[in-house]
Structure 1
Amino acid sequence: MSAPNKSYDPVEVEALKPEEIERLRDEALAAFAAAGDLDALQEAKVAHTGGTSPLALANREIGALPPHAKAAAGKLVGQARGAVNKALAGRQAELEAERDARVLVEEAVDVTLPYDLVPPGARHPLTTMMERVADVFVSMGYEIAEGPEVEAEWFNFDALNFTPDHPARQMQDTFFVQGPEGTTGDESGVVLRTHTSPVQARALLDREPPVYVVCPGRVYRTDELDATHTPVFHQIELLAVDEGLTMADLKGTLDHMVRSLFGADMKTRLRPNYFPFTEPSAEMDMLCYVCKGESVGNPDRPCRTCSSEGWIELGGCGMVNPRVLTACGVDPEKYSGFAFGFGIERMLMFRHNVEDMRDMVEGDVRFTRPFGMEI
């Protein structure tokens, strides 16, 4: 077995030659000096002081040297790495000072400037939407009519041709406030109105035909609060009673409404349905305002808004039932009328792509503020 090579010269290792160590040190110093900001300095730091940097790799070569050669090589590499670390710290301090000075100038705040103590507010979009819809009909000559939210059961049901055994009169749909003897009950008495239709009955009793009224307001039903339902919501209903009114007048009024709210190219359609207070009755659909019906039968262009059906259900409508006219003192042989109604929350969801109805009632200003102060 041969003896160790005690004459081994560290300069024979390329990475440990003095001139190579000096070159690596100078490259690092030049890179730090050239760094114009802290991000560039960080990149230079990784390149010249990291675990895979040239000086770090040279330091690893020292372990392969014989004992008598390690001291000189270690001193040479150590001095170079010390100079590099010192230059890095100095340059970092300079760049941090420059950054702090720049921030003080760029982000300076003049505390002597006047300021607004009251933050900008916003009207609730439900209020704005309800008034916007009402304005459409006011411009056509209709009158705004209002009524109490705590309503007599006769106005809410009997006058509107709801029979005593109608399901809507039961506790699962209606909030009953007072029974017939002044006690809480579910037979008759006083209720929180379930629709704004009782305002129409009051309008017929208070006015002589012709009657053209639009009835916006808050209504109540025993629904659970979720993304698409709420126990307290808003409706707007319309009633027109005059001589010679027909379904054609109803259809034209509906078309004018959706065109005013959603665009001149919108239109409506009517589907047969049943409501106690209208005969004939229909469901009103509006052309999908997103796909305009082009998604129907077109798998390449699906529409989430209308589920590729091309139409969106908006509300109920029809000709006023003669029994309602009679109950309100109007001669059905002389006068006819039409009515329709829909939910404001549903209209707001369509018009502004609101996904969760709970956002409308939780009172978070972050929901209302984007709608602004439109009057």
Structure 2
Amino acid sequence: MSGPNNDYDPVEVTPLKAEEVDAQRDAALAAIAAAADLDELKQARLDHAGDRSPLALANREIGALPPQARKEAGQRIGQARGAVNKALAERSAVLEAEHEERMLATETVDVTLPTTRRRRGSRHPITMQSETIADIFVAMGWEIAEGPMVEAEWLNFDALNLGPDHPARTMQDTFWTEPAENHVVLRTHTSPVQARTMLTRKPPIYVACPGRVFRTDEYDATHSPMFHQVEGLVVDEGITMAHLKGSLDHLAAQLYGEGVTTRFRPSYFPFTEPSAEVDLRCFVCLGDNSEECRTCRGEGWIEWGGCGVVNPRVLIACGIDPEVYSGFAFGFGIDRTFMFRHNLTDLRPLFEGDVRFASAFGTEI
């Protein structure tokens, strides 16, 4: 019986020859060392370590060898490829560091230099809301009237039938200027503009008076010592509460959408008689699903402002004959209107000067 045959025919595979493997390894190392940037190194990696590189193809030829020769050839190819991969990693670290240094040197920005870039500004949302309301009045054929914010006591109180003992005259509601004997206040409403208009013009009068007013209120989510309101005044022959109701319904529909109307609740104001509180039909649920509505809290209506027929005493104080003319007046908060329209629950962002808040309302449609 014959023994095992340990002789074999070492098949000559050229890529696996020691000198050929060493040559391919040296060529790869030279190409890697010569790479001047990351792009050239990437190309060297593809040429000498990729799937179609000479060493990768030689590795595939190992299977053509007899079993006894595969181990030596595998070690030779593995060592060569390991040396190439190590050189790639080392050269890549060097080139990446050089790339970052060049970026820091060439892309440095001097933040102390003046810039030509200007942030795009935006108008204050209250300004836009005031102008929107003014446009509605102008479209109705009314005029816009303005007056000073520092006002005479007589125009702010007496001309409007607010007697000397009225609580609004006290320091609890009014900012008085010094010295007190000058009888000058920061206006507590825009009604003095109405008085000035009646003193300087003859009826018919159709004016709206938007503006900034001041009261000694606490500063919180729903109150501010400075806020904005708009008042409307009509003085003409034959003016009734029906004209007032129609004007407010039109204004409500223009501001909040079709179907939004108003209702009156009896109230008292010294400068109007009869007087009423104005409620706005909820513009979210329109009163249909009021129990589930978070805006009107189940009421179906939202308090909006005050109104009434101009008190004859006010007409007389301003030189208008109440036997010939009658009129109506109303007022509501511009800030409150803006909060309603944009579903805000806190008015303080309107006054704190954060440009990020104002920029969100840069355009009024």
What TM-score results when the alignment is normalised by the length of structure 2? 0.68
Kindly provide the amino acid, as one letter, of the partner of residue 169 in structure 1.
Answer: R
Partner residue, 2:74? none
Are 1:226 and 2:220 an aligned pair?
A: yes
- Alignment match of 2:308 (pick from 314, 318, 321): 318
Partner residue, 2:295? 305
Partner residue, 2:321? 331
Q: Which runs of no fewer than 5 residues in structure 2 stay unpaired?
A: 1-81, 108-114
May I ask how many residue pairs the two structures share in their alignment? 268
Partner residue, 2:148? 148
Kindly provide the amino acid, as one letter, of the partner of residue 195 in structure 1.
Answer: H
Are 1:342 and 2:350 an aligned pair?
A: no
Partner residue, 1:204? 198
Are 1:274 and 2:268 an aligned pair?
A: yes
Deviation of 1:332 after TM superposition, in Å, equals 0.3
SS in 2 for 1:313: strand
CA distance in 2, matches of 1:330, 1:284: 26
SS in 1 for 2:248: helix
Deviation of 1:262 after TM superposition, in Å, equals 0.9
Kindly provide the amino acid, as one letter, of the partner of residue 153 in structure 2.
Answer: E
Kindly provide the amino acid, as one letter, of the partner of residue 120 in structure 2.
Answer: P
CA distance in 1, matches of 2:249, 2:317: 30
SS in 1 for 2:353: coil
Deviation of 1:296 after TM superposition, in Å, equals 3.4
CA distance in 2, matches of 1:164, 1:286: 33
Answer whether contact 1:220 1:233 (CA < 8 A) is retained. yes
- Alignment match of 1:292 (pick from 281, 286, 292): 286
Q: Rg bigger for which structure? A: 2
Deviation of 1:140 after TM superposition, in Å, equals 1.0
CA distance in 2, matches of 1:326, 1:350: 37
Aligned pairs for 1:112-151 (under 5 A) are 117-151=117-151
Kindly provide the amino acid, as one letter, of the partner of residue 330 in structure 1.
Answer: I
Kindly provide the amino acid, as one letter, of the partner of residue 285 in structure 1.
Answer: D
Identity %: 63
Partner residue, 1:248? 242
Kindly provide the amino acid, as one letter, of the partner of residue 190 in structure 2.
Answer: T
Answer whether contact 2:234 2:329 (CA < 8 A) is retained. yes
Deviation of 1:179 after TM superposition, in Å, equals 4.9
CA distance in 1, matches of 2:157, 2:253: 32
Q: Which runs of no fewer than 5 residues in structure 1 stay unpaired?
A: 1-82, 109-114, 183-188
Answer whether contact 1:123 1:374 (CA < 8 A) is retained. no
Partner residue, 1:3? none
Structure 1 stretches of 4+ moved >4 Å: none
Answer whether contact 1:225 1:231 (CA < 8 A) is retained. yes
CA distance in 2, matches of 1:356, 1:270: 26
Aligned pairs for 1:1-375 (under 5 A) are 117-179=117-179, 181-182=181-182, 189-297=183-291, 302-374=292-364
CA distance in 2, matches of 1:321, 1:309: 31
What TM-score results when the alignment is normalised by the length of structure 1? 0.66
Answer whether contact 2:305 2:332 (CA < 8 A) is retained. yes
Deviation of 1:295 after TM superposition, in Å, equals 2.9
CA distance in 1, matches of 2:326, 2:334: 27
SS in 2 for 1:177: coil
Which whole-Å deviations, capped at 9, do the CAs of 1:173-213 have from their partners, x for residues lacking one? Answer: 0001145634xxxxxx1100000000000000010000111
CA distance in 2, matches of 1:314, 1:236: 12
Answer whether contact 2:290 2:296 (CA < 8 A) is retained. no
| RMSD value, Cα | 2.9
CA distance in 2, matches of 1:212, 1:328: 15
Deviation of 1:373 after TM superposition, in Å, equals 4.0
CA distance in 2, matches of 1:374, 1:343: 19
SS in 2 for 1:371: coil
